[in-house]
Chains A and B, each alone.
Chain A
């Protein structure tokens, strides 16, 4: 594999290799000198056509800790506003000798299109409503650590509930694909208006009854409710949404003992997740952020650092 465009492109071997190496990479995080020479002399451009703080910073730190030269390009709207096509923008940067593009774009498929145009390798850092593979990988990494902390190994038999705006979420698509590879059991929970067409064929359970799922879930992953969706008539009011699909204090108490709480952020406290749940002892939200750097180091290393790497 030359690029990481989505979890649809991964095999179980690829995914496990990335997660395993991420464990080693995470040790760098606790060192006083956080630097490995693995990608010295390699140039990574983080090109973000959409606002992002955590993903861009996470990729930048990952690249720097592997000694790559990382450059951030905030390209939001630029190719359109200046009249240049995405293709020309990317070919221009590619001509400068870039080794890898980490690309975030509001359009589905943009990373795949860029990969078909440029010589450099491409990592999809989120494309529209399509995929966000490194988010799913860091989620899986975080869950795996959590399960181990409870003395349990692997994903087999584990139930992962993903709750919220599934229709517009790239995180959910990548998570379902990855968990299907790793053996986890995904349950999708959303109001019927926020379910993607054809979701019944994704190989996971789908329901609108959050309360029925709560006592069974080993992980509850809450997705952000985008307030602009309300104007789209997807659900009547924020209050009604929270009543049906929010991880309220009451629902927090109904969780299975040891169940972990995830959220890819940014969180709307009081809407899809209560502060009590976000800050609970079993909240894995900050672990997800910390894991992000290690997982992205692993991904970059697999793509750029080794001719024999799992993804070559």
Chain B
């Protein structure tokens, strides 16, 4: 496919033409006269977004999501690469399982699928999974996570961090002390949990693990990544650790940037997520940390669930909400439109930095001649009410349904091929 995009504005404000040819960005001056053209006047062109934290549910829960539907949703959201979390059924804890998901991505993906391997066998938190074999497999796994569960055993976490150094891997931790936030915890521990009678999830159940893990990262001189940071206390610890030079990185989800605890008062299980929606003070701390770089990236924690898994009482329903399609919209709304962040920084947080952390070649690259043609065209002013029924995902647990938000993605191109067009 060849396409000449005329007059797009780059994140730095430069107006330019982009020529997509054979999967790379070629010199626009070399485009033949009759080439297909796209008038991008008024639109931004930014590198395709990269998500470090996606649940594609395949294999095992294809009723909730598949590689096909999940990456279709990703393309709709402007993503050209997603990291597929390991908590599938079976768990991605062997080289064979990793290669299977990788092959699915290559065959059916509407964007690149990078495989996240489990840290421990079966996510059981007892024995290391085949970290090295997953790293050496065709999937070239570099990010390992038991997400959904915390690697709570300190010694095992130390060994995981030490082990992945051999191939410069990264352990992405779901920080949740399993005792402090018990198995039924489902609401930010606060006046809200007290009034609603919902088991509380104290913010310190996250920050105590974050504190422990940065110490273990310092001890091992290895890379730890804090998934879905949700509390002001965690932010402070990460800020302190970075100043010390510890190799810690962190992500914020779109929902923890926009939504807060009072939404839970309706007992609408769409708003049940783990970690839970926090109070506005925590939300503010997350926004500030994303702006100043304490939090390095936006990770969607896109967690599709079939309706039958949400049609339960609040404490029983599965946690998780969709995130891929509205991630950019939310970041524009709370960071760009409020003047907290500029576009070059957004590109760092949502494309170049996650690509670098996940060590994904060809992603998060600048839009320059010779680079892979992974990009998204953005209308920064368009808005629309979110319609959950219009989602490309197989699931409908969209927490933004009915909310007026930016509707930025005009078209997405992956490996030079259009994967979404409005």
Could you list which residues of chain A lie within 8 angstroms of chain B, going by C-beta atoms? Answer: 80, 85-88, 105-110, 112-113, 127-131, 170, 173, 196-199, 201-202
CA distance A259 to B193 in the complex (A): 33
Cβ-defined partner of A113 (8 Å) among B196, B197, B198, B313: B313
- Are B267 and A109 touching (Cβ within 8 A)? yes
B195 surroundings in chain A (CB, below 8 A): 173, 198, 202
Known: A107-B314, A113-B313, A197-B191. A128 touches B197 (CB 8 A): yes
The answer on a CB contact under 8 Å between B311 and A112 is no
Known A85-B312, A86-B312, A108-B315; contact A170-B197, beta-carbon cutoff 8 A: yes
> Which residues in chain B, 67-86, are within 8 Å of chain A measured between CB atoms?
none
Asked if B308 is at the interface (CB within 8 A of a chain A CB), the reply is yes
Establish whether residues B315 and A197, one from each chain, have CB atoms under 8 Å apart when the complex forms.
no
Q: Assuming A128-B197, A129-B197, A173-B195, is B313 touching A105 (CB within 8 A)? A: yes
Q: List 16 A-B contacts (CB under 8 A).
A: A85-B308, A85-B311, A85-B312, A87-B312, A108-B198, A108-B313, A109-B197, A109-B313, A110-B313, A112-B267, A113-B267, A131-B197, A196-B194, A198-B191, A198-B192, A199-B194
Q: A113 to B316, alpha carbons, bound, how many Å?
A: 13
Residue of B nearest to A112 (CB): B267
**Cβ-based interface call for B364 (8 A):** no
User: Which of A87, A88, A108, A127 has the largest count of B CB atoms less than 10 A from its CB?
Assistant: A108
- Tell me, yes or no, whether B200 is within 8 Å of chain A by CB: yes
Give chain A residues whose Cβ lies under 8 Å from the Cβ of B197.
108-109, 127-131, 170, 173
Which residues B304-322 have CB closer than 8 A to chain A? Answer: 308, 311-316
B319 to chain A, nearest CB (A): 14
Q: How far is the CB of A85 from chain B (nearest CB, A)?
A: 4
**Assembled-state Cα–Cα distance A107/B191 (Å):** 18
Of the residues A86, A109, A199, A201, contact of B196 by C-beta under 8 Å: A109
Nearest B residue to A198, CB-CB: B191
Given A85-B308, A109-B267, A197-B189, do A128 and B194 touch, yes or no (CB 8 Å)? no
Provide the bound-state CA to CA distance between A86 and B314, in Å: 11
12 additional contacts (CB under 8 A) given A80-B316, A86-B313: A86-B311, A87-B312, A88-B311, A110-B267, A112-B267, A113-B267, A129-B197, A130-B196, A130-B197, A173-B197, A197-B194, A202-B194
Residues of A within 8 A of B316 (CB): 80, 107
Bound-state CA distance A129–B185 (Å) is 13
Main secondary structure of the interface of B (DSSP, over half): loop
Measured between C-beta atoms, what is the minimum distance from B99 to chain A in Å?
33
Enumerate chain A residues within 8 angstroms of B199, measured Cβ to Cβ.
129
Q: Are A197 and B190 in contact (CB under 8 A)?
A: yes
Q: Distance (Å) between the CB of B215 and the closest chain A CB? A: 26
B interface residue numbers (CB < 8 A to A): 189-200, 266-267, 269, 308, 311-316
Whether the Cβ atoms of A197 and B200 lie closer than 8 Å is yes
Name which residue of chain B comes closest to A167, CB basis. Answer: B194
Q: Contacts A108-B196, A108-B197, A197-B200 given; indicate if A128 touches B315 (C-beta within 8 A).
A: yes
Closest 10 interchain pairs by CB? Answer: A198-B191, A107-B313, A109-B267, A130-B197, A129-B197, A108-B197, A196-B194, A85-B311, A87-B311, A198-B194
Contact partner of B315 among A107, A198, A199, A201, CB < 8 A? A107
Distance, CA A173 to CA B199, complexed state (A)? 15
CB distance from A272 to the nearest CB of B (A): 20
Interface centre among B191, B196, B313 (most CB of A within 10 A): B313
**Inter-chain contacts of A87 with B (CB < 8 A):** 311-312
**Does the CB pair A198–B190 fall under 8 Å?**
yes
B266 to chain A, nearest CB (A): 8
Nearest A-chain residue to B316, judged by Cβ: A107
Determine how close the nearest CB of chain A comes to the CB of B200; give it in whole angstroms. 6
Q: Complex: how many Å from CA A131 to CA B200?
A: 16
Cα-based distance from A196 to B193 in the complex (angstroms): 8
Chain A residues with CB under 8 Å of B200's CB are 197
Q: Which of B190, B198, B311 meets A109, CB within 8 Å?
A: B198
Q: How far is the CB of B193 from chain A (nearest CB, A)?
A: 6
| Interchain CA distance A202-B311 in the complex, whole Å | 31
Separation of A199 and B315 alpha carbons in the complex (Å): 21
- Supposing A108-B196, A112-B267, A130-B197 touch, asked if A201 and B191 sit within 8 A by C-beta, the answer is yes
A87's closest neighbor in chain B, by CB? B311
**B311 contacts across to A, CB distance below 8 A:** 85-88
Query: Closest chain A residue to B308 by CB distance?
Result: A85
Q: State A110–B267 Cα separation when bound (angstroms).
A: 8
Bound state CA distance, A128 and B194, in angstroms? 12
The residues of B that contact A107 with a CB separation of less than 8 Å are 312-316
Q: CB-CB < 8 A to B267: which residues of A?
A: 108-110, 112-113
- B312 — which chain A residues lie within 8 A by C-beta? 85-87, 107
Q: In whole angstroms, what is the CA distance A85 to B310 when docked?
A: 9
CB B67 to nearest CB in A, in angstroms, measures 26
CA distance A112 to B195 in the complex (A): 14
Complex CA gap A202/B197 in Å reads 13
The residues of B that contact A170 with a CB separation of less than 8 Å are: 197
Complex Cα distance, B313 from A106, in Å, reads 9
Q: How far is the CB of A174 from chain B (nearest CB, A)?
A: 10
Q: How far is the CA of A85 from the CA of B197 in the complex (A)?
A: 21
Docked Cα-Cα span, A197 to B199, in Å, equals 10
Provide the bound-state CA to CA distance between A128 and B197, in Å. Answer: 7
Who on chain B is nearest to A110 by CB? B313
Give Cα A199 to B311, complex, Å: 30
Shortest Cβ gap from A11 to chain B (Å): 18
In the complex, which residue of chain A has the Cβ closest to the Cβ of B264?
Answer: A109
